[in-house]
Amino acid sequence: MNLSDAEWKRRLSPQAYNVLRQEGTERPGSSRLLDEKRPGTYVCAGCDLDLFSSDTKYDSGTGWPSFWKAIPGHIKTKTDYKIGVPRTEYHCARCGGHQGHVFDDGPRPTGKRYCNNGVALKFIPA
């Protein structure tokens, strides 16, 4: 999905644009998705690609929606050095929108914590 910067600005809220297109981070605890408990799917707020199932969501205590598994093939990763240490950043595989970072301190069965900016997601109830 290749849109111009102006098209992304028209399509997204200022907060979503900052996170998805400029790799920003929303304030912890600010996402309405933290308390979302219904069954459904979390999709990219930029292009609606399915990223996570509600079955993989858990409360990590970090202040951001967290998941232990992404939908295979729907995210891409790269190494991020913005805070001086390497971290694994992940993006939507279709539109390239920044979602968050993945860490190796999550629950079983994967041991992963996909720490996602809530503003970069939309929830679609089942």
- Please check whether residue 57 is in contact with residue 112, taking contact to mean a CB–CB distance below 8 angstroms: no
Is 47 a catalytic site residue?
no
Q: Residue 116 and residue 114: Cα distance in Å, rounded? A: 6
Starting at the edge strand that comes first in sequence, how are the strands of the sheet with 66-67 ordered?
Answer: 57-58, 66-67, 113-116, 98-103, 87-92, 75-80
Written as six digits, the tokens of 76 are 């891409």
The string over 35-64, giving b where at least 16 C-beta atoms fall within 10 Å of a residue's C-beta and e elsewhere, is ebeeebbbbbbbbebebbbbebbeebeeeb
Exactly one of 44, 92, 95, 115 is catalytic; name it: 115
Asked if 91 and 98 count as a contact pair (C-beta separation under 8 A), the reply is yes
Catalytic residue positions, numbered? 115
